[in-house]
Chain A
């Protein structure tokens, strides 16, 4: 069923009795051309683009829980393409372009809101660094504006501009950045893939791979063995665990990242604002809750929850730029598993196992990459060649030295 103003009107007159489920609850078949492991945003986007761009529809997406129950359902929904390094910037800009046409493409309201992403700077040195990043963005054809203090004040008047330790000197603004509705992105891709024949199999955990002559032939799951010509792995925080089932040892550590939502308030903050002296980002959802987060906790974890020192740290950073935040109550807080890579940048590549493809290393920035990740991963799986804008996101870059280390922190995942 195509969603439109006409279908809405029609259903309004029928008492909304004609809506059908947005996707089927598929049973796994015995045989597929492509199996995607991981029913999050990236996995479902991959299946969607396999169907729409490459005509491959004999595809299953296997999900251990329900779709979107991992990081796709627990992020701070920010989309942006404000990176410095060439290996990243073209890729994230492609993602931004796909976001801009996404809702028309998959006929679903993902509530993409280009409200602008404002990175605050707090010193002359940081201004120079941000100017450099802004210039790098513009050289890639991406919009970036360096704002002075007064221009920022006109946008966000209530921040603490004269904070004794971290005064706000200005900001780097990407107007095309913003937010999207995370669950709707998952549902839109699931619906779009399902309409084209992709099987979305929930409650189906992968327990092993059958590898013959260096090539994956089938997958053991809790719902039986499934044969597959090609297998794509997009399981974020569980990458090492599932990869180990195929004998892979990967440059990934799993870390916990916490995020927070306040009680609902009237519209207060119109943009995504980030604190440059620490690591803090905040926006407001359409329900009115302030959505914000900071650093990862910083130690290996599969626990889906963090510890209080990080909570305190995030609150302190929030108070440093916006003292009014202290009068608002925090409503919810949760943790997700980040597949932290060794240089802080993602991997979309083949693996040493034939027919097994890898999509991982998104650190805590995977949501914004969802469309391009799916696009490039689908291209890789379908044609066995790297998509040009993702050509630097190689697994072997740790051996060749062609690292993409935005932060310059080295092989220390909790520092990225």
Chain B
């Protein structure tokens, strides 16, 4: 009799664990979808800023048509990408490169760098980049946690049986990462100033370290979901 009670208790415990594990997979997957939607919202916010930025630069550098066309083309490609995180990231690469070109143009026009509208757009773009970076980290951290559960025992049994598959990280392409984010320096009045920190934009690169803070300066920790990592196979 006791043996049966113990066996039934074990079966009940296992059943509860299975249900809890399944439900956690579902809530994690929904969280990842929500996080991806949040990234999309922030990216749209950035795409919406670009036409105004281009118009402002055009007012000072109207002959740089090649740069403007490239920004418009790549923006259209990036905003039109509706596929997977990998596709979106691939479309972001040329767009960020074109933006970098646009800011390089701005470097050569001191009057443009002093333009209040341009400064406001630049600040807004910088804030948006921070928001994208945060949304991307949230998404990648949750993907990392979800994929870890899919790979590890005993949750992989549930994942296999209920077809929970690994999600993709949202990572920017290697070339864009190596080139660094587009930046413009407003600290020097001359147009030949070296590009430097401040209000740079990035499609998901690491947060630049701020100066003057106590204990700052240590390198950021390695980031499995961040720019220096690759998704698990």
> Are A and B subunits of one complex?
no
